[in-house]
Structure formats: structure tokens, C-alpha cells
Amino acid sequence: MVESGMKRLVVVSNRLPAALKHEDGRWTVKQGAGGLVTAMAPVLRNRGGVWIGWSGAAEPDVDVEGLLSDFSAEAGYELCTVPLTRQEVDDYYYGFSNEIIWPLFHDLQSRCRFHPRYWRAYLDVNFKFAEVVARRTTSDDYLWIQDYHLMHQAFFLKSMGVKRNTGFFLHIPFPTPDIFMKLPWRWKVIQALTEYDLLGFQTMQDRRNFVRCLRRLMPETRVEGRGAAVTVRLGNRSFRLGAFPISIDYNQFSELAGREDVARKAFELKEALRHRKIILGVDRLDYTKGIPERIRSIQTLLKRYPDLKGRVNFVQIAVPSREEVGEYKDLRQEIEQLVGRVNGEFSIPGWVPVHYHYRNLPVDELVAYYAAADIALVTPLRDGMNLVAKEYCACNNSEDGVLVLSEFAGAAAQLQRNAYLVNPYDMDGIAKALHRALHWDRDERHSSMSKLRDQVRRNNIFWWVDSFLQAGIAKTLGDFPEVETVRFERA
């Protein structure tokens, strides 16, 4: 049971930071991947908090909590699982979340499949999550709900008569009204979001888009205040609304990049490529990341500037994602065919222009790639934030790198002054930007990267958490102090 009076930070997300994988006939625990885990794990560590989510297993006979107990003890916070069936995963996660909300909110509505069954499953799973949240938390806890999978948590908690302080953060973009209004369940989604005490978005543009949608569906909406967080009034009730750009643990990445073994790996990467200029792309395999467009941009670069042949390498790391989904299998095949085509067109003895790696990398190896790269090419078609851009800057201790960044990434709002902004659909524009970046002199590169690193250092993950908590409950992370030991008890 949870002790009364404990003031804890409780994170609720679709997935736990540890995932169960069935390998070689047995279940194993793997560290979760993705921006949310990178961002939230340092925040909860050793603070006696709780992370509630699905484990990744849909088998009823698996001892999930037993398998996760060691990870929980090492992480320094409690993991609480929400069991889901295979059908629920198919309809709520792969269906509503990733065949409707994900493409719609990324301005790719032509990819949406508005199936009513998906909507019913989404509500059922959200209610199941809310039941676990209600059972495993107290009124003293602060509930921080993460992302588009769980937009109905506050709505269902209130419908059950459960009083909790609730904040919600949307990690992906929020669309403009003309796109959002295509959602058949638009009013119910907006209504559910207004039940939170605080709604957080990545950028001011996302916040403005939400307000415009809210006013379209609820004309009585009044917005009061100025700055990052404002108050929204709907009749006799109100809630807070803010823009809080998520970030990373800057010191963790910078220190890792400076570690001797990582620096040696970075040197070995450069040496393996014969100290040619390295252009790096790092993405989860997803159609929003613009990987095919990026490879075509490299093709354009080599066509326009033949003097670069043999002098530059493009390295694309694609992290496997949603491998069961046909659309993602097709995307992988498209990328591999493009890589083969470009390499076939431009390779010469001793030089292959594109190096493509489809796999998960250990964090120290990823950081070595960041440290080795002369240019980070971060060109999503649309992105809520994109932490790769910030990770690259944090790892560039030599301050000699260049960030080429999509203007449609949320990170552009913060980093636009010192990154090289490009349109990810403009192959010629990206090729020109890369050519210029490759010829920037040392002082220009140093000045830009120094300012980028300072921006990421000041506005790090702990600043993000403090900004959100301050707006939500007038507290900071310091009000959830680290503890020497954490006692976890099963309910």
C-alpha cells in the first residue's frame, strides 16, 4: 500500500522505461528507448517516485512485476504495470494512437485510418490506466501524464470521483484547426484535455494551435495572462496552459563524450572513414523523420558538387521501430533501396558515400558518433521537439560541429539563431546548406556551436521539469528530494 502523506512525483505513460522482450524462449528486461525515457529517467531517479505504464508484454502468464523488480531497485523509483491484451495493443496503440493521432498531429492526415473500433479501444485502455492510477496513488501525489496515448486520464479520474493534481504534456506537435477538425472525435478529445489542471506543449506555436481549436469548438473560451503559461477559463472552471520545450541531461551527454573510452571510439570512427568529413543522421525509423528525403538530399549534394566525392561520408543510424507494422516495413525497404541506389551511383574504389546502420546503439557508441560527426543533419518532416539535435550539441565538446536542422522540428524555435535551418522537402536547399556548412571556417563553427551548447546547457531537462512543476503546482524538482533508500511494496 502507498503511505498516506508521501508527496511523490508520478509519471504515467504508455510504456515503462523498461520493456519486456521474449528472446531465446525466455522473457528479458531491456532498457527502454526514445526521447521520453531519456528525458524522464534522470528526473525520477532516487526520488521515491513512481512510473506507471505498460510493460510491452501482452502475455497473461508472465510475472511482469517480478521481472521488473531488479530494474526498479537499480533505477531508484517504483515501476507499476498496466496489463494490456494483444487486442488492446492492436486497437489502442497500433490503431488509434499510431494510425490516427500520430499521423494527424504530424500534418500527415492522408495516412490516417479513422476506424471506430480504434476509438472504443482507446477509451477502454485509458479507463484501465485510470483505474491503476487511482489505486496506486494518493491525493498527495502529483500525476504527470505523458503524451497522446493517454489524453483521457484526467477525464476518467474525475468521472470516478478520484481527486488528483494532474498535468499533461504532449510530446508531439498539436495541429492547426483545419487539420484537427478532421478527427471524428475532435470535441471529445478537446473536452478530455480541458479536464487537466495543466496542459503543456513543446512550443508556443503548438499552444496557439490548441487555443485556436478550443475556441472553434468552445466559443466561450477566454485566455488570461502572458508568458509561457496562461490561464484558460471555460464558464465556471479554469485550467493552466503552457509551452515547455523538453530537453536533455546536458551534463550527462557532455561528460560521456569526454570520457576516454568514448573519445577513443570517436577517433576510431574517424579513422575508419579515413578522416573524411562526417555528416550524421540519427532517427527512430518513422515516416515523420524524413530519412528518404535526407538520402535524396545527399544524392543531390554529390551531383551538384562532384568535388566532394571521396571527401565526405553520410552516416545514417536508423533505430528499429514498430517493426510489426507493414507501413514501417515498407519504409525500411524504401530506405535500403535508396541507399543502394546512391552508393551504386557514386561509389569509387576505397569510398562508399552512404553508411546505413539499422540497429539500436548503446549510448556510449551513439555519443561517439555524435562526437565524431562534423555535421548533424536533423531534418524531420514534422517533430514535436527532436532531442537528437540537442544531444549532438551537448556531445560536441570540441565546439567544431554544425547543426543543420529542419524548420519543422520543435527544436528550431529554440535553436534557430545558431543552427542552419532548412526545409526538409527542399533537396536542393539542403544540399546547398551542407556545402556551405562544410566550408564554414573554424571561427564561425566555434561561435555557432558554443551558443547552441549554451542554450541546451541552460535549458536542460531539469529546467524543463522545474518550469512545468512551477506552472502546475508552484513547486520545483527540489521539492521532491533524492532519498538514500526507496522502499517499494507491491499492492
Residues classed as catalytic: 171, 383
Residues 6 or more apart from 270 whose CB is under 8 A from it? 278, 372
Instruction: Count CB-CB contacts under 10 A for residue 311.
Output: 13
Q: Which residue has the cell 504495470?
A: 81
Give how far Cα 467 sits from Cα of 244, 408, 472, Å: 7, 24, 9
Amino acid at 381: L
Nearest to 485 by CA among 76, 137, 79, 141: 76
Q: Which residue has the cell 517504483?
A: 78
Nearest to 49 by CA among 82, 16, 9, 14: 9
Provide the 8-state DSSP code for 2.
P
Tell me the C-alpha distance between 197 and 220, whole Å.
18
Helix (H) or strand (E) holding 334: helix 326-346
The SS3 assignment for 160 reads coil
Alpha helices in 76-113 (DSSP H): 86-88, 102-105
Tell me the C-alpha distance between 234 and 162, whole Å.
21
Is the CB of residue 72 less than 8 Å from the CB of residue 53? no
Is the CB of residue 281 less than 8 Å from the CB of residue 392? no
Instruction: Count CB-CB contacts under 10 A for residue 348.
Output: 9
Tell me the C-alpha distance between 195 and 157, whole Å.
10
Q: Which residue has the cell 518550469?
A: 467
Nearest to 192 by CA among 126, 109, 99: 126
**What are the two backbone dihedrals, phi and then psi, of residue 403, each rounded to the nearest 5 degrees?**
-105, 115
